[in-house]
Each structure stands twice: as C-alpha cells, then as structure tokens.
Amino acid sequence: MRKLISVVVLMTAFVVAPKTALAADAAGFADYVEKIKAEAIDKGYSEDTLAKAFANAKFYERSVSADKNQPEFKLTLDTYLPRAVPEWKAKQAVEKYNEHKELLEEVGAKYGVQPRFIVALWGIETNFGGYTGGFDVVSALTTMAYEGRREEFFKNQLWQALTIIEEGHIDVEQMKGSWAGAMGQTQFMPSSFMAYAVDYDGDGRKDIWNSMGDVFASAANYLKNAGWRDDVTWGRQVQLPADFDTSLAELKNKKTLAEWQALGIRTMEGEDLPRRADIKAGLVIPDDKEGRVYLAYANYDALMRWNRSHYFVAAVGYLSDRIRFPR
C-alpha cells in the first residue's frame, strides 16, 4: 500500500489561535513598532521612509495564527497534483503563455530560461497574478518579528522591505503580499527582491506587482542565478525495476542517464532514456517507489532553490509540460 506523507497546506482562513493570547500579543505591538523605528533610524533609514512605511502599521493576528498553527493534510503526489494544477489552470497557462508570448520569448532569450517555466511558476505562485496576498508587507513582517520565534530573520526581511520603499520601487499602499511577507506576482521575500528583481521595462522601478516585464524578468533572473539550463527540461517521470535499490534515490546522488539506464530505469513508456552524456540527474521518490518517481535534472535543483518542496517542483514541472504539450 502506498505510503502517505505529510504535506503542509496553509489554510489560514480556518486557523484559529486563542484570542486571549493574541490580544496579549497585540497589546505590546505599538511599543515594538517604536523600537523597530529607532533601530531603523540607527541603520540610516530616513524619517520620511519610516513615516510612510509605518503610517498604518497593524498587528496581524492572522499572520501569527497561520504561522503557529499550520495543519497537516495527508496527501500523495498523485492527489496533490490535480489540486495544484487542475484542468482550468493548465488551460489558462496556455492562454497566458500565448497572450504574453512576445515578451516571454524576449525575456527567455535574455536570461536563458524557457518561457513555459516562467509562466508555470507564475501560475503556481499566484494564479497568474490573480492572488498575491492582501497583507501590508511592512505590517506582516513587523508582526512576525514581534512574534519572536524568528525575530532576526523577519527583522532582516523588514530592513530589506524598507530599502525597497526608500528606493521608490513601490508605493507603501501597493506593497501587498502574503501573511509572511512574500510579495508580488513572483512572491519574492524582500531579500530575494533585493537580490534578483529586475527593472525590465526601464521605468526606474522594479515592480513585481504591476509590470509584466519586471515580473517575468525577475523570475527568470532568479532561475538564471540558481543555475538554470535552457538546453534541458526540469526532469522526467520514470519507471523503476522491481528490484531497484531505493537507497540510491537522493537528489544529490547525480549519475549520467546512461548510468541510470544501466540500473534498469526506463521512461514511462518503457523505452530507453535519452542518450545525452551532458545530463546528470538525481533520482527523486517523493512518496514511495509505488508512486511517482523522477529523474531530476539541473533545473529541478534550480526550482528547489525557489521552494524546497518536491511537491512544489513537481507542480511547476507538470504545469510547464502542460504548456509545452497542450491537450
């Protein structure tokens, strides 16, 4: 019987934390904001930036409850993928690809990333920009820092967010994201924004919220810096022989396709693996050998840099394949 594994699914709308505890947490938030502002002044941020950034700062109970109470649902990849990539999303991905084809091909050529992967990431992250999160990013990050368990991490993200504001990339009122501070149509954390966001349209702002050129180029720039290859795909689903030694299944255990072939691995159609000596791959078994099994190419590793979840990578890869081979 197939083993079930735990996949964390954020269902924040249904998560409830004790109101008394949250009320106690909220009571000291205003004092914490003043402390943060004093630290920011010491770091060189301007009074004007801080006045704008914290003008409507609020304590997000939902951020704290979502972070503390992430329920686990038992899923396999076979049950997860239809949820992550339903038929309507696969169809919409093809439509979005065709709608932005000229821009996507231009961006793809510049950064060395196949456009279908840019669209697939866009679709998985924010439903093609349809849902980017409605949280004020500064408030969400300040709330998470105040909550305390990962204060230094979220304070660092907050400083980066203040830099984004000070550099004029986005108006504070438009700086919306997830409950944890992931921003825009690419869902970059502020540190990723500072490292990889691109002003592709040349308007002086790196706008991953509204500019499609900036959105696509920023995603492509991230992948390029993560080691992306535009001459291979992300990986492939394969069949294992009955006696296969599953201890060999590890992303870091790279072998040539010929070496995996010699160990009995075949395509899903039962055919030989591609004869490409330039490709090394790891073997990934997200559930167990009775479930889906993948040979993970270099681009699989790059996607894991984006989100360290085999389920996430499989969803992006599957959606990219549906764009490449529409039904």
Could you give the domains of the chain?
12-69+133-183 (1.10.8.350), 235-324 (1.10.530.10)
How much is the pLDDT for 16? 40
Measured CA to CA, the distance from residue 155 to residue 305 in angstroms comes to 22
Measured CA to CA, the distance from residue 87 to residue 92 in angstroms comes to 9
Q: Are 295 and 248 in contact, with CB atoms under 8 Å apart? A: no
Residues of the chain with pLDDT under 70: 1-25, 65-74
Number of CB atoms found within 10 A of residue 106's CB: 16
Q: Are 118 and 208 in contact, with CB atoms under 8 Å apart? A: no
**Model pLDDT for residues 157-197, shown as the tens digit of each residue:** 999 999 999 999 999 999 999 999 999 999 999 999 999 99
Token look-up 């998470």 returns: 144
Q: Are 210 and 276 in contact, with CB atoms under 8 Å apart? A: no
* All residues at 6 or more sequence positions from 158 whose CB lies less than 8 Å from its CB, including other chains: 36, 138, 141, 142, 145, 190
* Nearest one of 141, 149, 216, 218 to 178, comparing CA atoms: 141
How much is the pLDDT for 18? 42
Bridge partners of 72, per DSSP, are: 8
* Nearest one of 127, 125, 136, 131 to 176, comparing CA atoms: 136
How much is the pLDDT for 25? 64
Measured CA to CA, the distance from residue 97 to residue 105 in angstroms comes to 10
How much is the pLDDT for 73? 58
Bridge partners of 75, per DSSP, are: 5
What pTM was computed for the model? 0.89
Measured CA to CA, the distance from residue 33 to residue 51 in angstroms comes to 12
